[in-house]
Amino acid sequence: MKKQVLKFGSAAVLVAGMFMATSCTESSRDQAYDTTEEVADDMEDAGDNMEASYKEEKAELKARLEEQDDRIEQRIDELEKQMDGASAEAKAEMEQSMDRLKKAKDNVDSELDELEAATESEWAQFKSRVNQSITEIDREFEEMDNEIEG
């Protein structure tokens, strides 16, 4: 994305600079050149800021996924401990919950792998999908808590 912005911006700045240079006096040309340079610098700074934001968001999303992964592992461990001495019916329910959690963990692990390969151009779509997945996992935890309480 940064490259596209810089390519487009650089081309626009170059065309504008050439136009100004051919139709202006010498002092106007110098002023146009300075303005063109300032715009190019501003565009480069904007591209750098976009890249920094992307990297920051990527790190935050990775931390959230790792937190979900840990949370899922803890719940699986809790269920395994609770299975000792539980009735057959309770064990069956716990096994179903563990199966759902293991699928969710596989999904989180997959998203962590994909996160490393995610590029800036596909970032918005990937981030949206992962945030939706995290929301679904949170709902799954709420449902399990309600089943235990109910």
Q: Please report, for the chain, the start and end positions of each structural domain, with discontinuous segments joined by +.
A: 2-149
Whether residue 4 is predicted with pLDDT greater than 60 in this model: the reply is: no
Written as one string, the DSSP assignment of 97-141 is HHHHHHHHHHHHHHHHHHHHH--GGGHHHHHHHHHHHHHHHHHHH
Quote the percentage of the chain above a pLDDT of 90.
47
pLDDT at 6: 47
Residue whose tokens read 């592992």: 73
Predicted local confidence at residue 144, as pLDDT: 84
